[in-house]
Amino acid sequence: MCWRGGALTEIDLDLPRRRAAVRTSSRTQSRVDPRRRLALGLGWWAWAGRTERRQARRRRQPSEKKDRFISDDSTRFVGTIPADYDRLEPFMFAGHADIFAQRVASIRPARTLELAAGTGILTRRLRDLLPATVEITATDINPPMLTVARGKFRPGEKVEFLGADATDLPFPDASFDIVACQFGIMFFPDKDKSYREARRVLSAGGRYLFNVWDSHRYNHFGRIAHKIVAGFFPTDPPPFFRVAFGYSAIDPIKESLINAGFTDIRIDVVSLEKDIPDPEDFAFSIVHGLPIIEQVQSRSSAEPGVVVSSLAGALRSEMVATGRTRFQAILFEARAQ
């Protein structure tokens, strides 16, 4: 068990606005010769043109900001991302999903809800380990991810897939014995609300299990990926890796669980060493299988292929001695009061 404190800060940029005003005096104008007056008139038209162009830019800004906000949304697993996301399974998710599913199976639930199920990496393992009579409901806010997940199950297997927001679940109170979430809660916009929703849909004594990535200090691949990608955009780095690895301070999470109505909190640091035989494939999967691809493309000053090559080189240098890297997560288990 490992206890650490931490903080995640965000920087808001407040760009100053410039205002221009032109004042003319009719008395002064009356004293100016016609040629000077013509020059003043042309100057006015030039000023008016610049003002109109500035106003046009300001009118476009809300749309441009909205587009950047959408592309910087670290929860958008859409387009080609779901298919490429599965390429990360052997690197990042497989071992943690095995441990997670075994923990759930040891509790012997009858009704299981999975949040942020994604492409069904954990869901598949839960179905394999749990008795066929156990009901599994797998949810995700991104329907394209669930489309990939459905393809991993045979007709007749007892799994229901449903698009749902983890902060506003469409289930009655006390509907489940287990709520499970693998590497999803970091992306929930209102984490405290998600804890309250998990508690609401759990029966008394039910368990909430979830894991999060530990910080960059303990996941060198995440630190390297953030450094390489940010290096291409030093004034506007994509935020994905700060979000994904920025929710690892144990005490605040523990307090949020207690406030939401949970007790008997168990916390395990799970550290796995993995072989990375093909750094190029791993780098491609990181860039193309996560929302980082949209965040890179929206900035348009670096091609994704160039980012992938640079990341692959950095990963290879990091693992030159052993060919391995660490994937460290923190697994939480809490009982509903």
pLDDT tens, residue by residue, 102-160: 999 999 999 999 999 999 999 999 999 999 999 999 999 999 999 999 999 999 999 99
In a domain, 271, yes or no: yes
Concatenate the DSSP letters of all residues of 91-143 into one string.
IIIHHHHHHHHHHHHHH--SEEEEES-TTSHHHHHHHHHS-TTSEEEEEES-H
Is residue 20 over pLDDT 80?
no
Answer whether residue 51 shows pLDDT above 70.
no
Q: Which two tokens stand for residue 202?
A: 């759990």
Whole-angstrom Cα distance, residue 321 to residue 225? Answer: 19
- In a domain, residue 91? The reply is yes
Residue 309 lies in a domain: yes
Token pair 């809300």 is at which residue?
62
Residue 140 lies in a domain: yes
- Alpha-carbon distance 51 to 45, whole Å? 10
Q: Report yes or no: 136 and 127 within 8 Å, Cβ to Cβ.
A: yes
What are the tens digits of pLDDT across the range 175-186? 999 999 999 999
Average pLDDT over residues 52-56: 50
100: containing domain: 81-336
Instruction: Write down the residue that tokens 């013509």 correspond to.
Output: 38
Mean pLDDT of 8-31: 36
Domain count for the chain, please give it. Answer: 1
For residue 174, count CB atoms less than 10 angstroms from its CB and return exposed for 0-12, middle for 13-18, buried for 19 or more.
middle
Q: Residue 139's CB: how many other CB atoms inside 10 A?
A: 22
Count of beta carbons in the 10 Å neighbourhood of residue 83: 14
Which residue is listed with tokens 């005096």? 25
**Position 259 in a domain:** yes
Does the pLDDT of residue 57 top 90, yes or no? no
Does the structure show a pLDDT above 90 at 91? yes
Cα–Cα distance measured from residue 193 to residue 319, given in angstroms and rounded to the nearest whole number: 40
Distance of CA 20 to the CA centre of its chain: 41
Task: Examine residue 49 and state whether it is found in any structural domain, yes or no.
Answer: no
Judge whether 16 lies within some domain.
no
- pLDDT for the residue numbered 50: 54
Name the phi and psi angles at 201, rounded to 5: -85, -5
* pLDDT more than 90, % of the chain: 75
45 assigned to some structural domain: no
Contact 179, 104 (CB under 8 A): no
**What SS3 class is residue 58?**
helix
- Of 49-53, 176-180, 191-195, 308-312, minimum mean pLDDT range: 49-53
To the question of pTM greater than 0.85 for the whole model, the response is no
CATH no. for residue 147? Answer: 3.40.50.150
pLDDT tens-digit series, residues 237-287: 999 999 999 999 999 999 999 999 999 999 999 999 999 999 999 999 999
Reported confidence tier of residue 6, pLDDT bands at 50, 70, 90: very low
